Amino acid sequence: MTTDKWIYLDNNATTATDPLVFEKMTPYYTELFGNPSSMHAFGNIVDREINTARENTAALLNAGPSQIIFTSGATESIGTVFHALTELYPEKKHIITTAVEHPAVLNTCHYLEKQRGYDITYLSVDKNGQLDPDHLRDAIQTDTLLVSIMWANNETGILFPIEKLAAIAREKGVLFHTDAVQAVGKINIDLSKVPVDYLSLSAHKFHGPKGVGALYIRPDAPFHPLLVGGHQENGRRAGTLNAPGIIGLGEACRLAHIHLKKNTYQKIAGLRDNFEKQLEQKIAHINIHGKNSPRLPTTSNIGFRYIEGESITILLSQNQIAVSTGSACTSETLEPSHVLKEMGVIPEELHGSIRFSFSRQTTARELEKTIEIQTSVIKRLRELSPLKPDNE
Ligand code: PLP
């Protein structure tokens, strides 16, 4: 299948690998295939490039290279943090998270709750998708092991005030992890100002390769490896390094840093705002979720009342437009989004919500075409809908 004509608006699921990233990675699959842990100079060439990748990853977060370990992706980074702390402090049985996390965190918490007897507090959000920092303060107990709160929501793009939340945890002496998968590379992150202890990220969400990520560990934060074996990553993550993937991640970080400095993402926010405005003008009975909250520039989650999101997705897909009804995981189950449910979105809208997610490759022309097709798709589906409003 050719991808030439596709309008790809599902960038929170994954992004296209930047051609410069791909170019940087390729020699490490071919002529420079050495193992970075080898003693010889052939391996050292790769090791040097891994060090550069570590520096570029750290620089994007304004952290130090020794605070970064490479993993197979955010799911592993997140699992590593939960594993480390449950191993180190078995007497602390309380964890705080939010009800709107990605399944990588939520299902880890459900496992600890159901199989291991942990007490989990799931902080709720209001209709704007925001959580009240005082609720975090009130939830912290003497046996709280960890607070894990996402930086940006993968379904709505809503940003949590991580600086404030991490400061509360720090003040109370509790460790803080953030799943920053959707935020990294799209907004400025400065860990010299935000007191998080751990941060998880994944390369493929910002034009890097799939199956590679990183975990930031604050100096002196407690740590225990998930994978043991060899001494790679200073004994913090065993296993031969995925050299091409890590080098690709480093390059993706370097490029993201340049784009953040060039304000590329402000331009995307402009495209997004215009997209939303046009849809609001052309289509009745719609609601932009989280419109009044700080959001990622790249996400627009819109409820189209009285129709099914799956039908919209299929019709858009027939027109070679790729969007999603929620996160990649929830789309598979056809369950309404736990995030929108938590925000109190009404049933008529819950089932007709679509996530459009943009990237630095998205163009104004693509969005114009999407608006045109989306308007006719909604008109057609509303005509068929048994729930259609009287004035349609
Ligand atoms: N956290 C968030 C917010 C995500 O959006 C994702 C991916 O969709 C993950 C975690 C998991 O990342 P990965 O599948 O790359 O491990």
* Helix ranges (DSSP H) in 89-159: 103-116, 133-139
Scan for tokens 């790249």, then name that residue.
298
For the packed helices 264-282 and 364-384, what is the interaxial angle rounded to 10 degrees? 30
Q: Side chain identity at 2, as an amino acid letter?
A: T
pLDDT at residue number 385 = 78
* pLDDT recorded at residue 334: 64
Q: Is the CB of 75 under 6 A from ligand 1?
A: yes
pLDDT value at position 82?
98
Tokens of 305: 């009342």
Q: What is the pLDDT of residue 329?
A: 43
Q: Which two tokens stand for residue 296?
A: 């990622």
Is position 253 annotated as part of the catalytic site? no
- Please report the pLDDT score of residue 347 as a whole number: 86
**CB distance 326 to ligand 1 below 6 Å:** no
Q: Which two tokens stand for residue 329?
A: 């995981």
Q: Which residues contact 273 (CB under 8 A, 6 or more apart)?
A: none
Q: Is 182 in the pocket of ligand 1 (CB under 6 A)?
A: yes
38: CA distance to ligand 1 center in Å? 32
Q: How far is 119 from 167, CA to CA, in rounded Å?
A: 23
pLDDT for the residue numbered 328: 44
**Residues lower than pLDDT 70 in the chain:** 1-4, 326-334, 388-392
Catalytic residue among 329, 350, 373, 387: 329
- Ligand 1 lined by 298 (C-beta under 6 Å): no
Strand 7-8 with 68-71, pairing: unpaired
pLDDT in tens, 46-97: 999 999 999 999 999 999 999 999 999 999 999 999 999 999 999 999 999 9
Q: How far is the CA of 112 from the centre of ligand 1 (A)?
A: 19
Task: State if residue 73 touches ligand 1 by the CB under 6 angstroms criterion.
Answer: yes
Hey, which residues does 198 pair with through a beta bridge?
A: 177, 217
Whole-model pTM: value is 0.96
Residue nearest to atom 12 of ligand 1 (CA): 74
Q: How far is the CA of 60 from the centre of ligand 1 (A)?
A: 19
Q: What is the dihedral of CA 80, 81, 83, 87, to 10 degrees?
A: 130
